[in-house]
Structure 1
Amino acid sequence: MSLPVQPSPTILLPELPPKTLVGIDLITFTSTAKFHGIRDLPSGWHFLYTGTTESFSLRSGAWFYIGDINTIGYRYNESALVPHKVKNDQNNGPEIYIWKWSSDTESLTSLKDDSDADCQEAMRHKANLSAIWQSGGLFRYRSRVSKSMVANAEAAKDGEPAQLEYDEESEESGRKDWRRLTDRISPEILTRMIGNPNYDVDGHPRWMVTSASTANRDADHIPGLDPQKVGEDGVPETTGEQEREFGFLPIDLKHTWREGAIGRERTEAAQDRSWALGDLMDRFSRYKHPYTGEIVSDQELGEAHVLGELQFTFLMVLTMMNYSCLQQWKRLLELVLTSRAAIVDKEGFMSEFVALLLRQLKRCDDVEGGLFEMDGDDGGAFLRDLLKKFRRFVYQAVEEDKASLVQKELAKLESWVKGEYDWELTHETIVKRGMIQLEDGEEVEIDMDDNDEDEETGEYAPMIVDSEEATL
């Protein structure tokens, strides 16, 4: 007689149509008729999403947490906590999520605790969990797909879930990568960016995102067309382009100085955006103390908002190909990598930022068509130019015996982009001017325009303006 199955943290996906694109964290696969969900979910953050096709279709997904989510961010702010609606899964068994397919919105929706019908349906699915498990209808969680797993999946019979091989060493490495890509995300950060979560029958929160979600600054507004209404699940009432608005960090790269700044102070703040970075962190570092009620400032909280948003936006590009998240990811990169004084003043933050950027770049090929090609970035020219300037700033600080932590992480990044993209970040090795020979033998002198800003030439050259004209 076989021993009864002891379920682990599981997400059930009843009524999911076959051949639906399913993604969980860093892997994707196509569902089969006998696929009913994913088991053995490890603790921590997860992002599950679906699409009706592998490409050119609206993708919908949601963030959720396995484990005690009420402890995340607790030392910061009681308002950052998810309301204590989550039942004690330790006493009631493993965490079981049930997301049912909605043919109306072509997305997954959670069963509600305020619906008797949903509560009864949830009890029925849980009661049948062991039978589904034993029948092989649950996909074992994987953090990455190896070549052997792909071959095994392709050899699987139609209508049966593929039995994917388990490589312990590769699996642990993949899980470590995912944890490092999400370790700064918190309920507070998700709520700020996406809005309040919705809850299932057991009080588990989830934050909904779609590939069409956007920030207002990145949206194309057409006069006469109102934004589409969004339902309680964060899913549009009818499929379309407009979704709930992202609440990103307010970054204005054209105004990076304090109010009232004039002259040299304003010029320096435009070239070194450290003041703007520090001001942004300060605004999001304040919270109400849960016991005393006083307003407290914690610099680490401000740093966490920047790092957490960098993680979120990158992963939404990676999984959902979300255009607005790509734009915010680039704005964050430009703000931080042009903050010269922060290399020394915020050395810990800057070194963590560079390390995170390297981990993200190692996953860029996961984006369909390539991350840099998605926005017409000409092979990553935008980031390459930023890194060249940032490297020069770092090594100028190193000459003063400062910023050693940043230098260490930058060396790893520089080595990787050199081997992967053949990017040369050493500014001195770049020829700025020179002679080239044309096909007819004529020699002409060329000048690289992208050095104008550094050398204050061309359109960046200083101008002498008459003070009387300037006041007109």
Structure 2
Amino acid sequence: MASAKEIEGPVEEQLDSTDLSHMKFYSKFGRIEDISSRKANSTAQSSGSINSTKMDPETARCLFEEGAFLIFLDVPEKTEFGIDVSSWNVGEKFKGVKMIPPGIHFVHYSAVSKHNVTAPRTGFFHDFKRKEVVVKRWDRKNEGLDTLPVCAEESERYASSLQNLDPFLGAYPYDTYKRWISMSRWITDITLLRLVPTGPNGCIFAVQQLESQPYVCLSRSESPSRKRTKATLPEMKVSEETRIRFSDLSTKRLCRGAQPSDITSMNMDKSVFLDHWIADELHGSPAEVLGEVQFAFVCFLVGQVYDAFEQWKNIVALLSQCEKAMLDRPDFFLDVIGLLYFQVQEIPKDFFVDVVSQENFLTNTLQSFFAIAEHADGVDERLRSRAGQFRKYLQKMFKWDFSMESNEDAPVVVDL
């Protein structure tokens, strides 16, 4: 286990040049052993007893001394509670989780009725510091996290009595920690500051939270039946403070005022849009693109947020059509391949297949990526080689065919 000095280091990733399944991780808690490839249909959630995690005594001791604690008070029995990629139905004595490795984690929960009906999921991200004690309370009336913070005095009281609370705290599922790091290593405090909703606790909801609009006077010219409909059905809209603040990937702003030929060129090679996004909205940090890809992925896979799935698809599609950027940013696109390698393993093989057209979104999208990375002139040889490995891996593991061209995704040429 790493020493206290080593724990301060950032997360670092290294893909072996000959094997995409070989990866080494360094988290805020130190080095995690090498990951070996897992079955591609691994589930998004682990289940079982919250105390079923097995680890060696030295790891357990270090985690208990250096790890963080989440005290979650008054959670009803049978509530579905989870952290990162694991979840459980808690017992009556549950009071939280101990031995949480320092770093960013996603805590989520769902109320369960007496008839065993599970409510939509709610969650929040938190960057746990070493030895931090976070205290939250369940709101029985609203069946979720209390919007009022626990007072400092009460939090300090629980922090000073961790030994007494120990029998009521479940151990962090360390056997899934490698998976979580592979899914979240690019998410930073800056990523969370940009994207997390502004509402209480920064909660992320699987179902959109609606609020009614102020009553609007009806026009005299409207029919009586329409007036009655408006009077009985309040106008609703999504609560802005609960909305995830994803980046606006609309291309209309850059295209406004451009010549038709320039618009055609920009839509054939979307490097201009990527460069604009990085320079103007992400303060010149390409890593924040990767952070948003992972943030969206976690929100839809674990948080069950459909809008996050759409954002994830849009970013992957954008990154797959950037020829000039691949020439200018080879290291960035090497990281893109590593990121996607782990993400595709978390999803069932047929997840991306459209039920109507039977076309696979990811196959069609990555087809453009591989065409550029493997065949465009001037591409970094490391990127060319890694893209070829990734394509062969997907073909072998998922039986995906990247040889067929999609007419739907072909660029539209604007004639002058």
TM-score by length of 2: 0.70
- Tell me whether 1:122 sits opposite 2:155 in the alignment: yes
**CA 1:382 to 1:256, structure 2 compared with 1: closer, same or farther past 3 Å?**
farther
Mapped partners of 1:411, 1:121: distance in 2: 56
| Aligned residue number for residue 181 of structure 2 | 179
* Residue correspondence of structure 1 range 57-456 to structure 2 within 5 A: 57-67=119-129, 94-109=131-146, 112=149, 118-133=151-166, 136-143=167-174, 171=175, 174-196=176-198, 207-213=202-208, 224-227=234-237, 244-253=242-251, 255=252, 257-286=254-283, 299=284, 301=285, 303-365=286-348, 371-372=351-352, 376=355, 381-397=360-376, 400-425=377-402, 427=403, 430=404, 450-451=406-407, 454=410
Mapped partners of 2:67, 2:164: distance in 1: 14
**CA 1:412 to 1:23, structure 2 compared with 1: closer, same or farther past 3 Å?**
farther
In the TM superposition, residue 196 of structure 1 has moved relative to its aligned partner by 4.7
In the TM superposition, residue 344 of structure 1 has moved relative to its aligned partner by 0.7
| Aligned residue number for residue 29 of structure 2 | none
In the TM superposition, residue 385 of structure 1 has moved relative to its aligned partner by 0.5
Amino acid at match of 2:261: R
- Tell me whether 1:28 sits opposite 2:76 in the alignment: no
Mapped partners of 2:147, 2:324: distance in 1: 47
> Whose Rg is larger?
1
Amino acid at match of 1:277: L
| Aligned residue number for residue 52 of structure 1 | 111
Return 5+ residue gaps in structure 2 as ranges: 1-63, 211-229
Mapped partners of 1:314, 1:393: distance in 2: 24
With a CA cutoff of 8 Å and minimum separation of 6, indicate the structure with the bigger relative contact order: 2
**Which secondary structure state, in structure 1, belongs to the residue aligned with residue 322 of structure 2?**
coil
Contact 1:213 1:246 (8 Å CA) reproduced: no
In the TM superposition, residue 61 of structure 1 has moved relative to its aligned partner by 1.1
**CA 1:336 to 1:181, structure 2 compared with 1: closer, same or farther past 3 Å?**
same
**CA 1:379 to 1:17, structure 2 compared with 1: closer, same or farther past 3 Å?**
farther
Amino acid at match of 1:62: F
In the TM superposition, residue 388 of structure 1 has moved relative to its aligned partner by 1.2
Contact 1:99 1:111 (8 Å CA) reproduced: no
Amino acid at match of 1:138: L
Deviations 1:297-316 (A, max 9, x none): xx3x2x12211110100001
Deviations 1:24-65 (A, max 9, x none): 111111111122211111011111100124986221111111
Contact 1:21 1:31 (8 Å CA) reproduced: yes
Contact 1:256 1:275 (8 Å CA) reproduced: no
**CA 1:379 to 1:97, structure 2 compared with 1: closer, same or farther past 3 Å?**
farther
Deviations 1:182-206 (A, max 9, x none): 22222232222224586xxxxxxx6
Contact 2:72 2:138 (8 Å CA) reproduced: yes
**CA 1:313 to 1:378, structure 2 compared with 1: closer, same or farther past 3 Å?**
farther
**CA 1:35 to 1:409, structure 2 compared with 1: closer, same or farther past 3 Å?**
farther
In the TM superposition, residue 129 of structure 1 has moved relative to its aligned partner by 2.6
In the TM superposition, residue 278 of structure 1 has moved relative to its aligned partner by 0.8
**CA 1:55 to 1:252, structure 2 compared with 1: closer, same or farther past 3 Å?**
farther
Alignment root-mean-square deviation, CA: 3.3
**Which secondary structure state, in structure 1, belongs to the residue aligned with residue 203 of structure 2?**
strand
% identical aligned pairs: 20
Return 5+ residue gaps in structure 1 as ranges: 69-93, 144-170, 199-205, 216-221, 230-241, 287-298, 433-449, 468-472
In the TM superposition, residue 126 of structure 1 has moved relative to its aligned partner by 3.4
**CA 1:338 to 1:7, structure 2 compared with 1: closer, same or farther past 3 Å?**
closer
Deviations 1:212-245 (A, max 9, x none): 2589xxxxxx99524466xxxxxxxxxxxx8612
Mapped partners of 2:278, 2:289: distance in 1: 7
Amino acid at match of 1:275: V
Contact 2:370 2:388 (8 Å CA) reproduced: no
Mapped partners of 2:169, 2:409: distance in 1: 57
- Tell me whether 1:37 sits opposite 2:81 in the alignment: no
**CA 1:463 to 1:257, structure 2 compared with 1: closer, same or farther past 3 Å?**
closer
Deviations 1:382-412 (A, max 9, x none): 1101111221111222xx3523232233234
Mapped partners of 1:50, 1:320: distance in 2: 9
**CA 1:268 to 1:49, structure 2 compared with 1: closer, same or farther past 3 Å?**
same
Contact 1:10 1:97 (8 Å CA) reproduced: yes
Contact 1:213 1:243 (8 Å CA) reproduced: no
In the TM superposition, residue 111 of structure 1 has moved relative to its aligned partner by 6.0
- Give aligned pairs, total: 329
Mapped partners of 1:257, 1:284: distance in 2: 13
In the TM superposition, residue 463 of structure 1 has moved relative to its aligned partner by 8.4
**CA 1:186 to 1:312, structure 2 compared with 1: closer, same or farther past 3 Å?**
same
**CA 1:247 to 1:452, structure 2 compared with 1: closer, same or farther past 3 Å?**
closer
TM-score by length of 1: 0.62
Mapped partners of 1:391, 1:419: distance in 2: 16
**Which secondary structure state, in structure 1, belongs to the residue aligned with residue 108 of structure 2?**
strand
Mapped partners of 1:407, 1:256: distance in 2: 32
**CA 1:363 to 1:62, structure 2 compared with 1: closer, same or farther past 3 Å?**
same
